[in-house]
Amino acid sequence: MLLHDVSQTALAGAVLTLGLVILLEIRSFARLRRMVDINLGRVFEQLEMLRAESRQVLEVQAQAAARLAPVVIERQTLERPLAAPPTLDFVVAPPIDTNAYQNATTLAAHGVKPEEIAARSGLPAGEARLLASLAAARARRDEAAQAAPSPASGARS
C-alpha cells in the first residue's frame, strides 16, 4: 500500500511539473507572438514611409518634367536642357534580362551551387541563393510526392 501511495505521489508531481512546463511554453508563445506583432508593425510603418517617400519623388519628377516641357514657337520645337536628375540615397540595380532568370532557374534545378549561378547568369548572389533554395525545396517536395503512396492506390486495396 505504501508503494502505491508513493507512486501516486510521484505521478502527481510529474503531472504538476508537466502542467507547469506547458503553462510556461504557452506564456512564451504569447510573448513571442506579441514581439512578432510589434516588429511586423514596425516593418509596415517603414514600408508606408518608403511608399510615401516614393510618391513624393514621383510627384517632384512629374513637376520637373512639366516645367521642362518643350516649348513650341512657330512650328519649331525648342528643347530645353534637362535638369540634373535628383540624387538618390540608394543604389538602383540595373534591370536583369528575363532570360537570365530562366537560365539561372534551370541551373538551380540541376543542382548548381549559388555562386556559380550568380557568376554564369549575372544575378546578384542573394537572388542566386534564393533560386537554389527554391529548387532544392521543389526537389524535396517532388521526392516526397513520389515516395508517398497515392490516395487512389490506397482506396483500391
pTM: 0.37
Residue range(s) defining the domain that contains residue 57 = 16-77
Q: How far apart are CA 95 and CA 106, in angstroms?
A: 20
On whether both 60 and 108 belong to a single domain, the answer is: no
Contact 125, 118 (CB under 8 A): yes
C-alpha distances out from residue 79 to 60, 63, 74, 82, 144, Å = 20, 17, 14, 9, 64
Q: What is the dihedral of CA 124, 118, 137, 150, to 10 degrees?
A: 130
On whether both 21 and 60 belong to a single domain, the answer is: yes
On whether both 133 and 103 belong to a single domain, the answer is: yes
pLDDT at 27: 96
Q: What is the mean pLDDT of each run of 10 residues along the chain (157 residues)?
A: 84 96 96 90 87 89 76 54 60 65 89 91 87 91 82 51
On whether both 73 and 100 belong to a single domain, the answer is: no
